[in-house]
Amino acid sequence: MNRKTFLLLSRYLFLVSLLLVESAFAGSIFSRRGIGLLRYRDNVRAIGMGGVGMAMSDSISFYFLNPASLTRINLSRIQGDFRYERASVDLSRHVTGLFSDASVNSLGLAIPIKAGHVMTFGVRPYSFSDFEFAQNQTDSSYSESLRGTGGLSELYLGFAADLGAVRAGVTADFYFGRLNRIWRLNYVSGELRNSEDVRNRHFTGVGLHLGLQAQHGKWQLGTAAGLPARLNVKTELTTLGGFSGVIDKSKLRLPFWFGAGLGYAPNRHWLFGADYRTQRWSAVDPDEFFGDRGVDSHDINFGSEVIPSLDALDGYFKRISYRLGGAYRQLPYEEPAGKKVRELTVNLGLGLPFGRGYNRIDLALEIGKRGSLSSNLVKENIVMIHAAIVGSERWFQRSKRR
């Protein structure tokens, strides 16, 4: 086996092994509401810059939320990313909890059809639910727990084109997934049969989002919007007693979202940016939202990136991308009723180039808090580590003769 074959195999072996790992989500107490906690984060490079990416375009990694950003990709790219998340939950009266987990986050493929025209498809998380309450009965006759797991994912198929003055992109989204709610009762006495009631909500639906980008001198502009999507929801109940069946069929409307971003690159080394995104969750009927009242979400991101040297002959540490940013988010749920939940994070990131600069490993660290004891009665201190690997191949493109 020559070195080239070995490298190719190791790269795809790595990406395939990501797929084989059972997908799991890190926990959050807020993920028990509605369809769970939404995954607004996209692209590890953007996360390292506080989530900024709406106006940015990159020739190596791709940013899902604004499909127009794909047009600079000139080699076929496979991108897989991984996330570790840890949430320390702090409740009033000195009650604490801890959720931590690690999982594959997304996998995508971008293929340039011709110069400035790129197709993409892949899968990424849309929301997740992972929490657990548990307690022993005071008379110790049984223990009881309530656990939520699962999430919604998006299977997407997109197309982007460079139209000269502007870059445009459109993506069709197929939503699917399952949210599980498991209530368990374990008796201490072996004479009593334990209970386990599992309620699964299955979601399916189709949506569309599109984006535009433009560059004017050192400034970059970007905007994207997602059209409302109607999801079919089927609720099944399965009990340890033997009951199994569909108990409800309903619809859920994912509301319209809109985002805009601004980037400023004073030279080829520095990049500054800021994004804003909002989604009208208040328009969702609480009955559709499983009894929870939605709140409009707001996402404000800002950050910067510096690459000390673009010269391939310079030292490696000079060619690493160093990123810094921060994010403020208002989550789409109230906790408790009437109290909005906010999330603040500080973000750090690195972009490690390899393979003559055609490929990159992106790393990002997020540290922050979600909720507050004074208004939400619960606070989560969150730490997230993201890692993405982007590989490249020359597919559907004719090699130049030397």
Partner 1 sequence: MRITKKFAAPLYGVVYSCMMFLMACNDNKTIPLSSDLVDRGELGQVLRATKTIGIDSTAGKTVNTFGSANLLLGKFDNIESQFLIRFAKLSLPDTVSVVAGNLKLYGSLAKGDGANFDAMIHEVIASWDSAKITWDDQIVPGTFFKNTPMDTQPVGKQIADSVVFKLDPAVVSSWRTIDGREKGVLVRSSNATFMKVFNSHFSVTRLPALELITLKRGNTKNDTTRQAPAVSVFIFRRVAELRKGPIYLGLGEQYQSTLFFDVAAIPQNATISRALLTLEVDTLNSVFYANRLDLQLVQPTVEFNLNPLRFEPFRSYADTLRSADVDSINASTTTISLTVTSAVQRWVLEPKNNFGLTLFPISFAGRDLTRATFYSRETSAARAPKLQIEYTLPPQ
Interface with partner 1 in residues 156-215 (CB under 8 A): 181, 183, 185, 187, 191-197, 199
359 part of the interface to partner 1, by CB under 8 A: yes
Counting residues that bind partner 1 (by CB under 8 A) gives 72
Q: How far is the CB of 326 from partner 1 (least distance, A)?
A: 23
Residue 306 CB, nearest distance to partner 1 (Å)?
19
Site string for partner 1, 21-40 (x = CB under 8 A): x-----x-x--x--------
- Interacting positions 251-290 with partner 1 (CB under 8 A): none
Least gap, CB of 383 to partner 1 (angstroms): 11
Short-list 55, 158, 66, 173, CA closest to 112: 158
Nearer to partner 1, 240 or 310 (CB): 240
**One residue of 2, 5, 10, 267 binding partner 1 per CB under 8 A:** 10
Window contacting partner 1 (CB under 8 A); options: 57-65, 83-91, 263-271, 293-301 = 83-91
User: What separation, in Å, do the N-terminal and C-terminal C-alpha atoms of the chain show?
Assistant: 26
Interface residue with partner 1 among 377, 381, 393, 397 (CB under 8 A) is 377
Rounded to a whole number of angstroms, the minimum distance from the CB of residue 222 to partner 1 is 29
Work out whether 383 is an interface residue with partner 1 (CB under 8 A).
no
Tokens linked to 65: 């939320």
Among 44, 89, 210, 364, binds partner 1 (CB under 8 A): 89
Bridge partners of residue 349, in order along the sequence? 323, 364
Cα(115)–Cα(184) distance, integer angstroms: 56
d(CA 395, CA 399): 10
Is 250 a binding residue for partner 1 by CB under 8 A? The answer is no
Q: Which tokens sit at 212? A: 């535009």
Q: Please choose, from the candidates 82, 106, 84, 89, the residue with its C-alpha nearest in 3D space to the C-alpha of residue 31.
A: 89
Structure tokens that stand for 113 in this block: 């059809």
- Cα dihedral 185, 186, 192, 195 in deg (nearest 10): 40
Please, are residues 148 and 26 in contact by the beta-carbon 8 Å criterion? Answer: no
Whether the Cβ atoms of residue 96 and residue 88 lie closer than 8 Å to each other: yes
According to CB under 8 A, which one of 17, 204, 250, 282 is a site residue for partner 1? 17
Asked whether 204 and 235 are in contact (CB, 8 A), the reply is no
User: Measured from the CB of residue 260, what is the shortest distance to partner 1 in angstroms?
Assistant: 33
